[in-house]
Amino acid sequence: MGLRAAGAACLVALMAGCGPLPAPVDGAASPGLVNVGDARAAAMRYHDSGAYDRDLVRVAEAARRWVEERAGQVARPTLVLDIDETSLSNWPVMKADDFGYFRTGACDSLPAGPCGYLAWESRAEAAALPGTLTLVNAAQRHGVAVFFVSGRGEAERAATADNLTHAGYRGWAGLYLRGPGTPTASAADYKAPVRAAIEARGYTIIANMGDQPSDLAGGHAERTFLLPNPFYRIN
Ligand SMILES: [Mg+2]
């Protein structure tokens, strides 16, 4: 009996109720639902293999080529950037917290965790993502204004500005952070109106780059560039 015939016989037997169905296994029981432990291991491999860094640079280089091409063609050309995992890397915290998120609490035992994000951000020690820093420097050489638009709160303005400066970002045109009275259902609901406000000031946003789809949703940019981030999701 060939494989095809054997399969057909088995199918007939199952349809007739002659044999038990195989026990479901995880994944098969819930198609599309990933195992968190497997996802964690895959995320670590993605980072540690160097593929994450390569993909970051690839996207930022595509943005750089577009910005350099477009800058001289519009009035007041502008680049909008998210901050976390777009301009600055929080990898030491992601790793220490095993991809968990602790908003409050100390961050005084790195590289061991736990590390609270507010405490980490107050240290202003996050490193620049190299591809993004290259993009910013190239954009500024071409007369492009750079705005940072972040979901970080206004209370973190001084530390965030210090961190951007220490990481190598200079001469930006604006830093938009969330005010205490501006909660929105999603990051997109906050960021898209900010871009509209930048445009209302006479700037032409030729590129918007972020690591979350919510950084880019809602228009108000000629082109969008999505960096990889398999480590967390901000809706
Ligand atoms: Mg981000």
pLDDT tens digits, one per residue of 50-108: 999 999 999 999 999 999 999 999 999 999 999 999 999 999 999 999 999 999 999 99
Low-confidence spans in the chain with pLDDT less than 50: 1-18
Is residue 201 located within the same domain as residue 217? yes
Q: What pLDDT is stored for residue 188 in this prediction?
A: 86
By residue range, what is the domain housing residue 199? 60-88+127-230
Q: Same domain for 210 and 108?
A: no
Q: 17: CA distance to ligand 1 center in Å?
A: 53
Could you tell me the distance, in angstroms and rounded to a whole number, from the CA of residue 83 to the centre of ligand 1?
6
What pLDDT does 140 receive?
98
Residue 143 CA to ligand 1 centre (angstroms):
25
Query: What residues pack around ion ligand 1 (CB closer than 5 A)?
Result: 82, 84-86, 211
Statement to judge: residues 118 and 154 lie in one domain: no
Whole-number Å distance, alpha carbon 213 to ligand 1 midpoint, is 10
- In this structure, are 65 and 101 located in the same domain? no
From ligand 1's centre to the CA of 66, what distance in Å?
A: 21
Is residue 10 domain-resident? no
Residue among 207, 216, 213, 219 nearest 233 (CA): 213
Distance 230 CA to ligand 1 centre (A): 12
The total of structural domains in the chain comes to: 2
